[in-house]
Amino acid sequence: MADGSRLHISVPDGRRRLPLLILSAVLFLSACAGLPPPPKPAATYLTLSDPSQAQEAVMAALGLMDTGYRFGGANPEAGLDCSGMVSYVYARAAGLELPHGAARMAGLTRPVPRSDLRPGDLVFFNTENRPYSHVGLYIGEGRFIHAPSSRGKVQISSLDHGWFASRFEAGHSLLRP
């Protein structure tokens, strides 16, 4: 080669496919080794500014015993439905605006195991063959207060006995962990 002759490399007929194969391999490997997806933002839940507000909400709810039921109702004078009752008591006891609708409340509150329920926590039930279709306010000792349509008045029921026992879905809290 010192005589100025050129080195010739023989390329088989597939020479045009080689760059394409290399590019495909690089893209494939870079896709597998790419950056992980960005982390999801931490869930933000509605919380009470003072834990004593949960007890105040329980007391406010107990004051609504025997208030008539009304679908979509959000005040005692006109009647209350389940989420209307919970919204009403938390607005009065804590100045906290909860949305109307059990499922919407569930999406804004922190899930807690049933064994960790404390007075003022929310309890959710599947009463209409759809998740989070009923909500009540846990008052302690396995009991909750709610506005069921079946009997037409705000009342206390048990988590462990009766119609709601088999329909319990989840507990959620407005208290910080």
pLDDT at 15: 54
Task: Give per-residue pLDDT as tens, 133-172.
Answer: 999 999 999 999 999 986 689 999 999 999 999 999 999 9
Q: How many CA atoms lie within 13 A of 64 on its CB side?
A: 37
Q: What is the mean pLDDT of residues 45-58?
A: 95
Two structure tokens written together for 109: 């509150």
The verdict on whether 146 is a catalytic residue reads: yes
- 12 part of a folded domain: no
Torsion of Cα atoms, 75 then 79 then 83 then 85, to 10°: 60
What is the domain range of residue 60? 52-173
- 87 part of a folded domain: yes
- 109 part of a folded domain: yes
- 158 part of a folded domain: yes
Task: Give per-residue pLDDT as tens, 108-134.
Answer: 999 999 999 999 999 999 998 989 999
**Active-site pick, 32, 100, 134, 172:** 134
The verdict on whether 8 is a catalytic residue reads: no
Cα-to-chain-centroid distance, residue 1 = 76
- 17 part of a folded domain: no
The CATH code of the domain that includes 164 is: 3.90.1720.10
The verdict on whether 82 is a catalytic residue reads: yes
**Active-site pick, 32, 82, 161, 172:** 82
- 44 part of a folded domain: no
- 129 part of a folded domain: yes
pLDDT at 176: 82
Task: Give per-residue pLDDT as tens, 9-44.
Answer: 455 555 555 555 554 444 333 333 334 445 434 468
pLDDT at 151: 67
Q: What is the DSSP string of 77-125?
A: TTEE-HHHHHHHHHHHHH---PPSSHHHHHHHSEEE-GGG--TT-EEEE
Q: What is the mean pLDDT of residues 48-60?
A: 96
Residues 6+ apart with CB under 8 A from 27: none
Q: How confident is the model at residue 64 (pLDDT cuts 50, 70, 90)?
A: very high
Two structure tokens written together for 139: 């008052």
Query: What is the number of domains present in the chain?
Result: 1
**Active-site pick, 32, 146, 161, 172:** 146
